[in-house]
């Protein structure tokens, strides 16, 4: 049986296209072979005048420069403030020392005074420890950069700083939510409180906050640093935060930013709503207490926690629950200073100045140390 020819015009067109494509690919293959195996093809191209256009060369040069992978970042920080940086160094160093001494004092007093061995102060001790490391991740590097000209940080160190900063920050958010539940259980269900907040339950809640915080941090850091970073390496901040770093990526970041936003909702909005519901129940219970003194005592145990919650969640939500495109460096840097310096400073001050139990415990611990010195 003979081979039949094409019967329709479409068949002729298809055969023509296929033949043309095969011819083009054959020419391309021959040219590649000639480039790899025969150096004389370059001379032939010159003779034929087959020169690469100048615009194409420039474009390739720009593309090669842009694809240079970033190995370190430059933290701009407060470099635009000039001589004021020295004054900032003194102020921030003083605040850092106050934060360290305040949080270490609270942890030590809670550990040494048995009257504070309750779930409320157990979580306060974890919160103070977390905030001590939280500031340690950010402030020493910031203080060094205020006095130095070279403000660089390596790619790996930047990712590490972001991981630990977010890990401790998210842990703090979850701890504040657990502390809200503790106050709810103590005021609304006092008879069941020993069961609801047993030491076993407290240990599991504390471990869950830490593990959950660092798992969420690992997810966010992976989403940020899995992006390609090209020639741009100037971070318009005093540490490696999400928005200033992700803005430097040389690709579309919409999907990554959306997932990070969902993580922000889970670690900020959900615990905050949980705290709000807890305090609504607490308020209803407090209003049922007949005596004014009883109502005052019940609410005083919540006032310190509520103050820290408002400042911490307010600042963190303003920074992380909005698109990266809305990042405004100067204004956002001021808000970031609030929750990286003021909040850790506020925590020991509020819990020590407003809390009589902590004040009495500090006096007892200091009194014991003083009497030991006199005895020796």
Number of C-beta neighbours around residue 171 at 10 A: 28
pLDDT given at position 48: 45
pLDDT given at position 236: 85
pLDDT given at position 225: 92
Rounded to whole angstroms, the Cα distance separating 171 from 212 reads 7
Q: Which residues of the chain have pLDDT under 50?
A: 1-18, 20-21, 24-25, 27-28, 31-32, 34-50, 59-60, 62-64, 66, 372, 374-376
pLDDT given at position 328: 55
Rounded to whole angstroms, the Cα distance separating 177 from 171 reads 10
pLDDT given at position 158: 92
CB crowding 85-123: b at 16 or more within 10 Å, else e = eeebbeebeebbeebbebbebbbebbeebeebebbbbbb
Rounded to whole angstroms, the Cα distance separating 103 from 89 reads 21
pLDDT given at position 302: 79
pLDDT given at position 354: 66
DSSP one-letter string for 187-225: HH-TTTHHHHT-HHHHHHHHHHHHHHHHHHHHHHHHHHH
pLDDT given at position 250: 87
pLDDT given at position 359: 77
Rounded to whole angstroms, the Cα distance separating 221 from 229 reads 14
Rama region for 49: left / alpha / beta (φ>0; ψ in -120 to 50; rest): left
The answer to whether the CB of 116 falls within 8 A of the CB of 356 is no
DSSP one-letter string for 244-257: HHHTTBSS--HHHH
pLDDT given at position 232: 82
Q: What Cα–Cα distance (Å) separates residue 276 from each residue in 9, 137, 180, 213?
A: 74, 30, 9, 21
pLDDT given at position 370: 53
Give 4's DSSP letter. P
Number of C-beta neighbours around residue 242 at 10 A: 23
């Amino acid at each position: 049986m003979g081979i039949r020819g094409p019967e329709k015009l479409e068949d002729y067109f298809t055969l023509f296209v296929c033949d043309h494509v095969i011819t083009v690919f054959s020419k391309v293959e021959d040219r590649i072979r000639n480039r790899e195996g025969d150096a004389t093809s370059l001379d032939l191209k010159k003779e034929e005048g087959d020169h690469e256009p100048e615009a194409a060369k420039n474009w390739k040069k720009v593309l090669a420069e842009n694809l240079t992978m970033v190995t370190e970042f430059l933290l701009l920080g407060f470099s635009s403030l000039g001589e004021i940086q020295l004054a900032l160094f003194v102020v921030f160093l003083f605040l850092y020392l106050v934060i360290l001494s305040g949080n270490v004092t609270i942890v030590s007093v809670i550990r040494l005074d048995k009257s504070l061995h309750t779930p409320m102060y157990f979580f306060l001790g974890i919160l103070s420890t977390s905030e001590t490391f939280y500031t340690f991740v950010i402030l020493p590097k910031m203080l060094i950069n205020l006095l130095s000209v070279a403000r660089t940080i390596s790619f790996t160190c930047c990712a590490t700083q972001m991981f630990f900063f977010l890990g401790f920050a998210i842990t703090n958010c979850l701890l504040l939510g657990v502390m809200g539940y503790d106050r709810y259980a103590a005021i609304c269900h006092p008879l069941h409180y020993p069961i609801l907040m047993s030491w076993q339950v407290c240990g599991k809640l504390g471990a869950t906050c830490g593990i959950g915080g660092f798992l969420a941090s690992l997810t966010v850091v992976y989403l940020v640093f899995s992006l390609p970073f090209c020639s741009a390496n100037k971070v318009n901040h005093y540490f490696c935060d999400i928005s200033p770093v992700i803005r430097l990526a040389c690709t579309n970041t919409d999907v990554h930013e959306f997932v990070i936003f969902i993580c922000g909702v889970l670690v900020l909005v959900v615990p905050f709503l949980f705290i709000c519901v807890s305090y609504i129940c607490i308020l209803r219970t407090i209003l049922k207490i007949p005596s004014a003194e009883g109502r005052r005592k019940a609410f005083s145990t919540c006032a310190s926690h509520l103050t820290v919650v408002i400042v911490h969640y307010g600042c963190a939500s303003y920074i992380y629950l909005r698109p990266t495109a809305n990042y405004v460096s100067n204004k956002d840097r001021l808000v970031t200073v609030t929750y990286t310096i003021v909040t850790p400073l506020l925590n020991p001050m509020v819990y020590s100045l407003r809390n009589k139990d902590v004040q009495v415990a500090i006096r007892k611990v200091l009194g014991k140390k003083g009497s030991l010195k006199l005895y020796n």
